[in-house]
Amino acid sequence: MEHALTFIDPTSLVFEPMYDMVHVDEKWFYEEVNKRSC
């Protein structure tokens, strides 16, 4: 919860735009390489 509250502008109590953020799904780091040959 504390992480989400850091994105709120304290003067207007509105969320700041997050256009410059990239959210990465951690499952991409654990993908296994496809070992099948064509």
pTM equals: 0.40
Give residue-wise pLDDT tens across range 5-38. 888 888 998 988 878 878 777 776 676 666 665 5
CA angle 23, 29, 30 (to 5 degrees): 135
Supply the range of the domain harboring residue 33: 1-38
| Nearest by Cα to 18 from 32, 29, 8, 30 | 8
Contact 29, 20 (CB under 8 A): no
* pLDDT value of position 12: 92
How many domains would you assign to the chain? 1
